[in-house]
Amino acid sequence: MRTRQSQRWEVGLLSLALVAGVAGCGAGPEATTDPLTGRAAAPVAHSAAEEKAAEKAALTAYSGYLAASRAASAKGDPSHPDLPRFLADPLLTRVRVAIRDAKEHGAMRTGKLVSDPTVVSVDLGAEPPTVEIQDCLDATGYRLVYAKNGKTVPGTRGGRYLATATASRYPDGRWLINTGAAHQDQPC
């Protein structure tokens, strides 16, 4: 029989599938991560080239987010320097907490997470400008294991499932992933 504490721990670690196994370049980890806001302007038409550039930057940020999360999770390092290069709050804090929880319980992620993201919308007129991303994550080879013996943590599973994320453009011009969710109940 599992305790409520261990069930919460397992649920929290399952969310790590997206964030650590669940992307813009930028300044150091303490850079401002507040989205662009506060401009009241009439809607502006954006060129196809501007939208394409936003898509590319958002997908680069998403890819970096997944890579940084995997690296931080494999090392059990919630302060990994690449995390703030690709993530902003509230997702940055959620990822760090999930990695810290796994480490405190003697667990880590191993294996390969396969990603196939697609941009589903671009809104350059929003405050902040945003790009919505949908992904079919394949976590069949990506496992949460106990660091001591490599055994799979009970209650964790892989599989293929839908993941969503939002990239926002920040005042310094960086595109950062600030929200994300794994929809493990929605196979793809």
Q: How far apart are the first and last CA of the chain?
A: 32
Radius of gyration of the chain (CA): 17
Which of 180, 156, 154 lies closest to 18 in space, CA to CA?
180
Annotated domain spans of the chain: 8-183
Q: For 32-84, how does the pLDDT look when each residue is reduced to its tens digit (9 = 90+)?
A: 445 545 444 445 677 899 999 999 999 999 999 999 999 999 999 999 999 99
Question: What pLDDT score does 143 carry?
Answer: 87
**What's this model's pTM, rounded to 2 decimal places?**
0.76
Residue 2, SS3 per DSSP: coil
Reported as a pLDDT band with limits 50, 70 and 90, residue 158 is confident
Residue 46 and residue 169 in contact, taking contact as beta carbons nearer than 8 Å = no
Average pLDDT for residues 142-146, to the nearest whole number? 89
Please state, in angstroms and rounded to a whole number, the distance separating the CA atoms of residues 33 and 94: 15
Average pLDDT for residues 155-173, to the nearest whole number? 92
Query: Which tokens go with 7?
Result: 């069930």
Please state, in angstroms and rounded to a whole number, the distance separating the CA atoms of residues 170 and 181: 21
8-183 folds as: Nuclear Transport Factor 2; Chain: A, (3.10.450)
Which of 57, 74, 71, 73 lies closest to 23 in space, CA to CA?
57
Reported as a pLDDT band with limits 50, 70 and 90, residue 107 is very high
Which of 35, 86, 114 lies closest to 96 in space, CA to CA?
86
